[in-house]
């Protein structure tokens, strides 16, 4: 079993020292990841801390499908975006927007839209 999974199982069973080990291992990475969004070290620190607190409070929600790092960074990303939305006036810059789609998925979606438009035009002509 990988080390993170073992620590998670122990944490879910009530071992707070196991959780502290996960925090020590991923804290700096979580802060750096949040910095990519908020561009302020102290805010990124707070977001990382809130993310770990959420995991601690809602530990039963972790389903072991994704790695702990993926799970943590998803929470950090969402909390960072929430912070930006709450505290920034105006529109997000392109560099601040997180896209959940790959380039291939974006192209496929654009092609689907074009295909639907063409089908709609054809259907209207037939009427």
pLDDT band at 63 (very low <50, low <70, confident <90, very high): confident
Check pLDDT > 70 for residue 93: no
Mean pLDDT (whole number) for 36-41: 94
DSSP state of 92: P
Nearest 10 degrees: CA dihedral of 52, 13, 18, 32?
Answer: -20
92: left (phi over 0), alpha (psi -120 to 50) or beta: beta
CATH ID of 3-124, from 1.10.1740.10, 3.40.50.2300, 3.40.30.10, 1.10.3720.10: 1.10.1740.10
Cα 117 to Cα 88: distance, rounded to the nearest angstrom: 36
Q: What is the pLDDT of residue 1?
A: 53
Cα 13 to Cα 30: distance, rounded to the nearest angstrom: 24
Q: What is the pLDDT of residue 114?
A: 72
pLDDT band at 16 (very low <50, low <70, confident <90, very high): very high
pLDDT band at 11 (very low <50, low <70, confident <90, very high): very high
Cα 1 to Cα 52: distance, rounded to the nearest angstrom: 23
DSSP state of 52: H
This prediction's pTM: 0.67
């Amino acid at each position: 079993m990988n080390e993170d999974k073992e620590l998670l199982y122990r944490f879910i069973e009530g071992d707070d020292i196991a959780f502290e080990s996960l925090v020590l291992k991923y804290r700096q990475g979580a802060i750096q990841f949040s910095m990519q969004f908020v561009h302020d070290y102290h805010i990124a620190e707070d977001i990382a801390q809130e993310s770990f607190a959420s995991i601690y409070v809602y530990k039963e929600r972790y389903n072991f499908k994704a790695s702990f790092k993926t799970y943590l960074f998803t929470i950090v990303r969402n909390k960072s975006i929430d912070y930006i939305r709450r505290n920034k006036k105006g529109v997000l810059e392109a560099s601040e927007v997180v896209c959940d789609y790959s380039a291939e998925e974006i192209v496929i979606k654009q092609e689907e839209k074009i295909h639907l438009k063409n089908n709609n035009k054809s259907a209207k002509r037939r009427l």
